[in-house]
């Protein structure tokens, strides 16, 4: 049996394909897949805090009159493609920042999260958050 979470994701993917985002914000940060990293925890925490705070500020300004439900596409931009669990790990701080800006927990069923990625050029890193009205 398919879970309600998966049904929401499938519905969200269909609506993303059909329309353009209500809000699209480029986040000037370099995301990293932290699940495979061999980095000290303090450096990881510092980078996650920076990404989360930057995302929160940008999204808060862009989503002044928020309405629910929302579909949020979190886009990792980098020279190499990541696997499914790597992309989820890389955009976690973005997700937390958007949830902070919206004033909701990131488990809230009114928000469907769609992690995605796009290939950038050599040494081109970045992130983008697209918000679709559900």
Number of domains in the chain: 1
How far apart CA 59 and CA 103 sit, in angstroms, is 11
3-state SS class at 9? helix
What confidence tier does 132 reach under pLDDT thresholds 50, 70, 90? confident
User: Average pLDDT for residues 99-122, to the nearest whole number?
Assistant: 89
How far apart CA 12 and CA 7 sit, in angstroms, is 8
**CATH number of the domain that residue 55 is part of:** 3.30.1330
Residue with tokens 């980095």: 39
Q: Could you tell me the residue range of the domain that residue 108 belongs to?
A: 4-133
pTM: 0.78
């Amino acid at each position: 049996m398919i879970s309600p979470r998966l049904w929401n994701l499938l519905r969200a993917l269909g609506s993303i394909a059909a329309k353009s985002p209500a809000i699209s914000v480029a986040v000037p940060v370099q995301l990293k897949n932290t699940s495979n990293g061999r980095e000290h925890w303090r450096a990881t925490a510092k980078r996650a805090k920076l990404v989360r705070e930057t995302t929160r500020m940008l999204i808060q300004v862009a989503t002044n009159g928020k309405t629910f439900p929302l579909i949020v596409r979190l886009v990792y931009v980098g020279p190499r493609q990541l696997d499914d669990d790597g992309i989820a790990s890389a955009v976690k701080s973005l997700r937390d920042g958007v949830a902070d800006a919206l004033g909701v927990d990131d488990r809230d069923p009114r928000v469907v999260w769609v992690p995605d990625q796009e290939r950038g050029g050599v040494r081109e890193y970045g992130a983008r958050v697209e918000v679709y009205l559900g």
